[in-house]
């Protein structure tokens, strides 16, 4: 099977499992797990923030951040395709009591102008706009990126508005690589940032949320409230530390494989994709021209040993990661080409 459904499907290899097996541990609810503390400190300094907090998932990182930033009845400005809005089970409505105002980004990327126009005036009838959520890279946007310039133009805009900015940086290392910069530059001026280790970095579990020391102290209380206080969890943090040391630079290979996939798909009859827009590890393409909808395209492909996910009525998403090689991509392309030829006959 060539599994391109998501970069979450990677499995820990032997060396990562050894790091897990030999991790020093303690009770992390008491802040006594040395491996968790090391990971949190490393991430805080990498991102240029005061402190970090290890959490089980990217969703919990985002929702703890939002709960810490807002009060019930506050409004959050967000792209309409953002993970926080689209894929987190309305957690923000249930837990923090926030209301979203959804904006339409350019493949998920918001402009400072659109945000400025959406910020509410002070008016007794209207909810106060309190938080902006950015997503870098943008998942449903096709792995698109916020540049440093775009991010700082947004953080500057809100710094004098009594508003905060949370960055969902599930794939921020991919973004830094594609933008030719660092995760710290891409986080400058944001009040909180979360990074996933269970995506392209290849760890089995874990995200880290970073922000000021005061923010993280408060977030730690909400993590406990959400049931995310874990005990000898250094065994998981050890996998994340291993990923940080060994799996960041290799993300470049995933980006090259995604570009290869997109360029070759663009040559195929019936498939629509803009390869220049593929800058990280996500490829979204349209199969309307093949006469199939996304569900049947994906179903048929799966019987040939290539897994992708339907992303819209006629759009399909493929994500590259460390468990698919360039040879796998070429084999997947051969299979797709053969399958398109046979279905057009």
Ligand X SMILES: *Cc1c(COP(=O)(O)O)cnc(C)c1O
What is the contact surface with ligand X in residues (CB under 6 A)?
Answer: 57-59, 62, 83, 135, 139, 168, 170, 196, 198-199, 207
Name the minimum Å distance from CB 22 to ligand X. 25
Give the Cα separation of 226 and 29 in Å (integer).
13
Closest chain position to ligand X (CB): 58
The one-character DSSP state at 169 is: -
Name the minimum Å distance from CB 312 to ligand X. 17
Token readout for 254 is: 């995933």
**Are the C-beta atoms of 196 and 171 separated by less than 8 Å?**
yes
**Are the C-beta atoms of 340 and 270 separated by less than 8 Å?**
yes
Q: In terms of C-beta density within 10 A (0-12 exposed, 13-18 middle, 19 or more buried), how is residue 113 classed?
A: exposed
Q: In terms of C-beta density within 10 A (0-12 exposed, 13-18 middle, 19 or more buried), how is residue 21 classed?
A: exposed
CB burial string 271-306: b at 16+ within 10 A, e below: bebebeebbbbbbbbbbeebebbbeebbeebeeeeb
Closer CB to ligand X, 139 or 314, in the complex:
139
């Amino acid at each position: 099977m060539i599994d391109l459904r998501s970069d979450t499907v990677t499995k820990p290899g032997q060396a990562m499992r050894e790091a897990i097996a030999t991790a020093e541990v303690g009770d992390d609810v008491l802040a006594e797990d040395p491996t968790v503390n090391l990971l949190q400190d490393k991430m805080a300094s990498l991102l240029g923030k005061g402190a970090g907090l290890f959490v089980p998932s990217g969703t919990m990182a985002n929702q703890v951040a939002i709960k810490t930033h807002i009060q019930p009845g506050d409004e959050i400005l967000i792209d309409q395709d953002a993970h926080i809005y689209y894929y987190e089970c309305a957690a923000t409505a249930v837990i923090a009591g926030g209301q979203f105002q959804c904006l339409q980004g350019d493949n998920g990327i918001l402009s400072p102008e659109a945000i400025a126009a959406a910020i509410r005036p002070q008016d007794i009838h209207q909810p106060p706009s309190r938080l902006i959520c950015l997503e870098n890279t943008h998942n449903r946007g096709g792995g698109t990126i916020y540049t440093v310039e775009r991010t700082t133009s947004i953080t500057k805009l809100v710094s004098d508005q009594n508003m905060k900015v949370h960055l969902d940086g599930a794939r921020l290392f991919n973004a830094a690589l594609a933008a030719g910069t660092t995760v710290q530059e891409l986080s400058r001026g944001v009040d909180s940032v979360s990074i996933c280790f269970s995506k392209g970095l290849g760890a089995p579990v874990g995200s880290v949320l970073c922000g000021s020391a005061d923010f993280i102290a408060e977030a730690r209380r909400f993590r406990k409230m959400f049931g995310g206080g874990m005990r000898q969890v250094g065994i998981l943090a050890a996998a994340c530390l291993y990923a940080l040391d060994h799996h960041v630079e290799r993300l470049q290979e995933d980006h090259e494989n995604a570009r290869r996939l997109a360029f070759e798909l663009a040559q195929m009859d019936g498939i629509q994709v803009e390869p220049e827009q593929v800058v990280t590890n996500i490829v979204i393409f349209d199969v309307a021209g093949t006469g199939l909808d996304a569900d049947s395209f994906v179903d048929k492909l799966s019987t040939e040993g290539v897994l992708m996910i339907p992303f819209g009525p006629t759009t399909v998403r493929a994500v590259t990661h460390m468990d698919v090689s360039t040879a796998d991509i070429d084999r997947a392309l051969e299979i797709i080409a053969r399958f398109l030829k046979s279905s057009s006959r």
